[in-house]
Amino acid sequence: MSTYNVVYERAPDGTWSAAAAGLPVFAVGQDDRAAAESAIRSAIADHLAYLAESGERPPAPTTEIATVTV
């Protein structure tokens, strides 16, 4: 099991997007944050399963995310 950092962002229209840092460019958009979390978890799992089926190793989680106060 691996842990990947995910960035969640709320759009002005109230929908949520989620992107997995360190993985190929893919993001999901949903009506609420819980749905975005579920969708990105599923997208990551599907991607990792595809890599395994293709005989490729999944990328190691290497991204760190921090909050900066200015």
Domain ranges of the chain: 6-53
For every one of its 70 residues, what pLDDT tens digit does the chain have, with 9 covering 90 and above? Answer: 778 889 999 999 999 999 888 887 677 888 999 999 999 999 999 999 999 999 998 888 888 888 899 9
Q: Give the pTM.
A: 0.81
- Number of neighbours of residue 34 by Cβ within 10 angstroms: 10
**Which letter does DSSP use for residue 31 in this model?**
S
Whole-angstrom distance, CA of residue 4 vs CA of residue 34: 17
State both tokens at 24. 């190929």
State both tokens at 20. 């997995």
Whole-angstrom distance, CA of residue 23 vs CA of residue 26: 8
